[in-house]
């Protein structure tokens, strides 16, 4: 028709393509958004207020204390925070000698205690972060700042003395002297050290001492379990580390076919024995020194060695008999005269020298 406007038919294809493109962009944002969220485990240890694991959590309680809670919220133990670094918070439970490391970088909780080496105790499943309080405005100092504590920079290789309420330990050329406030003196040999502990031994008293620089305490054993002895008020340091202490050398057996000297334990072996609950004694026909450890079921009535941590034993008078009960070995000392009980029967009598 003349003078009329010609209309172009509407096309849905460009419109639908635009909608699909917009939806795709929204989906990309929704998927990638969680990946951009901050990870709590990447925070510095100073920001952590809670560390969760499968059966409970550790929670900062203020004043240098942390609580361990079970899954029901019951508080099991209270730990003291002893130090922290860029990765971890370190806790200590004095009553049981337990060291805990909450490692924020590895998402793991490590533990160690007397008789149990450092190991992974829990995997951290989640953390809560506590924002630090704002710092107060700095005031002009009214007096010169105090010098740094003598504990600053102390390591097990540089520590020269440890002071406690009632005395101190002083190091001199690989040896240590304890002087009490009453003037009593005790001499110790340094067995060695690791990153956190210095190990000392007094052979005249069979006394084993552990200096713990992290927990700032001294622990002690004279044949039983290692127990807390002193809280250390300060450690002092030397300018340069002393050379490592050489282990004692056991003299060789004299030539000539004479009676061999009874084997003796080294100082380090004795200290390790005492620290793990053992007892040092002489046994056998040669009177050799050995570390004897007790069995937990020693003295219990038994009819077979499978019922005991050690062996089920009877006297040699009951050898080669049936219907016999014995008792579980009290210690792991293999020497003596006995007859082993198996399935209610004793075997031949045996004397081990």
Element (H, E) at 177: strand 175-180
What mean pLDDT value characterizes the chain? 76
pTM greater than the 0.75 cutoff: no
Mean pLDDT of 121-141: 71
Q: What is the pLDDT of residues 158-169, one digit of tens each?
A: 888 889 999 999
Q: 1.10.3470, 3.60.10, 2.40.10, 3.40.50: which CATH number matches 42-129?
A: 2.40.10
Mean pLDDT of 345-351: 83
Q: How many residues does the chain have?
A: 353
Residue 37 predicted with pLDDT over 50: no
Element (H, E) at 28: helix 13-36
What pLDDT score does 33 carry? 36
Q: How confident is the model at residue 303 (pLDDT cuts 50, 70, 90)?
A: very high
Q: How confident is the model at residue 38 (pLDDT cuts 50, 70, 90)?
A: very low
Q: How confident is the model at residue 265 (pLDDT cuts 50, 70, 90)?
A: confident
- Rg of the chain (C-alpha set): 33
What pLDDT score does 133 carry? 56
Could you tell me whether strands 227-237 and 88-93 are parallel, antiparallel, or unpaired per DSSP bridges?
A: unpaired
Q: What is the pLDDT of residues 271-302, one digit of tens each?
A: 777 777 788 888 777 778 888 888 888 889 99
Mean pLDDT of 12-35: 48
Mean pLDDT of 66-79: 88
In terms of pLDDT, which residue wins out, 241 or 266?
266
Residue 83 predicted with pLDDT over 50: yes
CA distances to 150, 163, 193, 234, 256 from 160, in Å: 11, 10, 13, 11, 46
Other Cβ atoms within 10 Å of 26 Cβ, number:
9
Residue 345 predicted with pLDDT over 80: yes
Residue 41 predicted with pLDDT over 50: no
Helix (H, G, I), strand (E, B) or coil at 270: helix
Q: What share of the chain is helix, strand, coil (3-state, %, to 5)?
A: 15, 40, 45
- Ranked by mean pLDDT, the top range of 27-31, 225-229, 241-245 is 225-229
Q: What is the pLDDT of residues 145-159, one digit of tens each?
A: 444 333 445 677 788
Q: What is the pLDDT of residues 173-219, one digit of tens each?
A: 778 999 998 889 999 988 877 778 888 888 788 788 888 888 889 98
Residue whose C-alpha is closest to residue 216's, from 134, 117, 265, 149: 149
Residue 332 predicted with pLDDT over 80: yes
What pLDDT score does 240 carry? 53
Q: How confident is the model at residue 127 (pLDDT cuts 50, 70, 90)?
A: confident
Q: How confident is the model at residue 263 (pLDDT cuts 50, 70, 90)?
A: confident
Residue 19 predicted with pLDDT over 80: no
- Of 94-108, 200-214, 327-341, the one with minimum mean pLDDT is 200-214
Q: How confident is the model at residue 34 (pLDDT cuts 50, 70, 90)?
A: very low
What pLDDT score does 147 carry? 41
What pLDDT score does 140 carry? 57
CA distances to 17, 18, 24, 37, 125 from 30, in Å: 20, 19, 10, 12, 24
Find the farthest-apart pair of alpha carbons in the chain and give their distance in angstroms, rounded. 139
Instruction: Determine the Cα–Cα distance for residues 214 and 110; give it in Å rounded to an integer.
Output: 15
What pLDDT score does 280 carry? 84
Residue 47 predicted with pLDDT over 80: no
CA distances to 151, 156, 293, 324 from 212, in Å: 13, 9, 25, 51
207: left (phi over 0), alpha (psi -120 to 50) or beta: beta
Both tokens of 139, joined, read 């005031």
Residue 311 predicted with pLDDT over 80: yes
Ranges of H-type helices in 109-220:
none
DSSP-assigned letters across all residues of 277-292? T-EEEEETTTTEEEEE
């Amino acid at each position: 028709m003349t003078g009329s406007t010609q209309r172009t038919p509407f096309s849905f294809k460009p419109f639908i393509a635009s909608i699909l493109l917009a939806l795709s962009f929204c989906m990309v944002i929704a998927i990638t958004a969680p990946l951009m969220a901050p990870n709590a485990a990447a925070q510095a240890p100073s920001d952590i207020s809670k560390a969760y694991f499968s059966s409970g959590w550790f929670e900062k309680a203020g004043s240098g204390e942390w609580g361990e809670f079970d899954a029901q919220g019951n508080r099991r133990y209270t730990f003291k925070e002893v130090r922290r670094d860029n990765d971890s918070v370190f806790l200590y439970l004095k009553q049981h000698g337990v060291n805990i490391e909450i490692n924020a970088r590895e998402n793991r909780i490590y533990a160690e205690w007397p008789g149990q080496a450092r190991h992974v105790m829990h995997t951290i499943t989640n953390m809560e972060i506590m924002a630090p309080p704002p710092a107060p405005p700095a005031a002009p100092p009214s007096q010169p700042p105090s010098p740094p504590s003598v504990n600053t920079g102390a390591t097990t290789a540089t520590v020269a003395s440890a002071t406690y309420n009632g005395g101190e330990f002083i190091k001199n050329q690989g040896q240590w002297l304890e002087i009490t406030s009453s003037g009593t003196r005790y001499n110790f040999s340094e067995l060695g050290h690791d990153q956190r502990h210095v190990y000392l031994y007094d052979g005249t008293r069979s006394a084993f001492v552990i200096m713990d620089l992290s927990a700032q305490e001294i622990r002690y054993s004279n044949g039983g379990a290692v127990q807390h002895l002193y809280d250390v008020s300060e450690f002092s340091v030397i300018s340069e580390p002393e050379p490592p202490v050489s282990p004692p050398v056991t003299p060789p057996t004299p030539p000539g076919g004479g009676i061999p000297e009874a084997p003796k334990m080294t100082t380090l072996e004795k200290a390790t024995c005492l620290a793990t609950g053992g007892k040092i004694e002489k046994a056998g026909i040669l009177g050799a020194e050995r570390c004897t450890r007790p069995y937990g079921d020693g003295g219990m009535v038994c009819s077979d060695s499978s019922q005991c941590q050690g062996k089920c034993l009877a006297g040699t008078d009951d050898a080669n008999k049936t219907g016999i009960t014995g008792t579980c070995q009290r210690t792991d000392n293999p020497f003596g005269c006995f007859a082993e009980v198996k399935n209610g029967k004793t075997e031949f009598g045996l004397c081990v020298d």
